[in-house]
Amino acid sequence: MTATIRIGAPAPPQADSDAGFGELRGGNLGVRIATLPAELDAAQALRYRVFYEEMGAVPSAEVARSARDSDDFDAVADHLLVLDHSIGAGPEGVVGTYRLIRQAAAEKIGHFYSAGEYDIGPVIAFPGQVLELGRSCVHPAYRGRAAMQLLWRGIAAYVFLHRIDLMFGCASLPGTDPEALAAELTFLYHNHLAPPALRPRALPERYVEMRRRDPAGLDLRRIAAGLPPLIKGYLRLGGFVGDGAVIDHQFNTIDVAVVVKTDLVTDKYYRHYERQVRDALD
């Protein structure tokens, strides 16, 4: 669903290939799109610290030498940053990041990142603008509510600005043993499986069955509460998961495909936008 333009409401900003949404602030923290090479470098350094040093991802020799998590998609993506202004307003202040890849950017590479794990044909066929989300991480000292809320506010602003209709990506569960995550995978499949028209499916050579337990015996509340914050955030927005999990040995995770129609995201942001305008006029 495209963001609704309401009669009498101010028109949303017009998107272009380099447009950001300024910076949104919450106390000392702010969220905006990276604009400088040094800011992208800071995001890649943070990703390396979280994914490789903390979570046990296996670096290539080049990645280990540079102490940066990077790939070809970084050059075409937009990079959402959370900054702690008490440290600095530039690269030195980066404490959180999220990678955003629009369809035109993916076309420069030839495919989306998720296509290496899933058949995303149903997503690509969706009538509207699609956005791939990935490489999300927050510095350990900032993993409270404030930084995550800012990241979601930044995504909502970006979605609103660029008129995104569908978001998707691969979300991760820690570890590479499907049996250790049998309850979580079963819960996601039986309670949040995407409808066929939107359902990615793990590539045959990477497909891991998600239906690993009797769903009637699951403690739904406990499992839902224990899911990683990112997956919980997607589900709160009405998100769905694809069919099949994928083991990512490099990043020491089991991935699930996530698909989110942006109706709730754009509606929430639009209400916030209208409220800001009203407050400015009062």
Q: Which domains does the chain have, with CATH numbers?
A: 24-281 (3.40.630.30)
pTM beyond 0.85, yes or no: yes
Q: Is the pLDDT of residue 224 over 90?
A: yes
On average, the pLDDT of the chain sits at 89
Q: Looking at 150-239, which runs of residues are DSSP E strands?
A: 164-174, 201-202
pLDDT digit string (tens) for 124-151? 999 999 999 999 999 999 998 899 989 9
**What pLDDT score does 264 carry?**
74
Residue 20's pLDDT band (cuts 50, 70, 90): confident
Q: At what angle do helices 229-236 and 145-162 cross, to 10 degrees?
A: 50
User: 163 burial class (0-12, 13-18, 19+ CB within 10 angstroms)?
Assistant: middle
**What pLDDT score does 43 carry?**
98
Q: How many whole angstroms separate alpha carbon 125 and alpha carbon 141?
A: 40
Q: Is the pLDDT of residue 77 over 60?
A: yes
Q: Do 94 and 79 form a contact (C-beta atoms < 8 A)? A: no
Nearest alpha carbon to residue 113 among 94, 136, 144, 147: 136
Q: Is the pLDDT of residue 81 over 90?
A: yes
Mean pLDDT on 245-250 = 97
**What pLDDT score does 21 carry?**
86
Which residue type sits at 235? L
Mean pLDDT on 248-264 = 94
Following CA atoms 185, 218, 194, 154 in sequence, which dihedral angle do they give, to the nearest 10 degrees? -70
Residue 3's pLDDT band (cuts 50, 70, 90): very low
**What pLDDT score does 276 carry?**
54
**What pLDDT score does 277 carry?**
44
Q: Is the pLDDT of residue 274 over 60?
A: no
